[in-house]
Amino acid sequence: MAAEIPPRKTYGQPTPEDRHLHRGSGAAAWLFQRVSGIALIGLVGLHFWLVHFADLEGAWSVKAIADMHIKQLSILAVDYALLGFALAHGLSGVRNILVDMKLWPGGERTIRDALSAVGIATFVYGTFAFWPFLTYAGP
């Protein structure tokens, strides 16, 4: 019988044996919250600058918004990225609050699944909300 090979020492790196300790620890959610937060600062800034501060006195209408988004696809890209990131960041924050409040001990996975469903449904509804501006063909 061949001698068992001892696991390689990795000094600080998780070995395959202890990788399960990192799964579900919330590290990925924590990192996402930080990264999406930084991305949102840029996206919200661009959204305010391009859509709101650009024409504070302007009269908003379906035509004006459609013209703006069809002429500048970058605004459309910013708005969709903002929708996705804001929903994910916000709902992840709500999850943190609910888990911290310990209203439902042991229900963390259910909270995560329910909030994910809310996020996906709202993103789809957001796409539906934007549809008339993308398909606008005049009055």
- Binding region for another protein (CB under 8 A): 30, 34, 37-38, 40-41, 44, 48, 52-53, 56-57, 59-62, 65, 83, 86-87, 90-91, 93-94, 97, 122, 125-126, 128-133, 139
Region for residue 106 given its phi and psi (left: phi exceeds 0; alpha: psi -120 to 50; beta: otherwise):
left
State the minimum distance, in angstroms, from the CB of residue 99 to another protein: 12
State the minimum distance, in angstroms, from the CB of residue 137 to another protein: 11
The residue among 38 and 73 lying less far from another protein, judged by its C-beta, is: 38
Closest CA to 54 of 62, 43, 63, 45: 45
Closest CA to 42 of 7, 6, 82: 82
Pair of tokens at residue 23: 């799964």
The residue among 116 and 122 lying less far from another protein, judged by its C-beta, is: 122
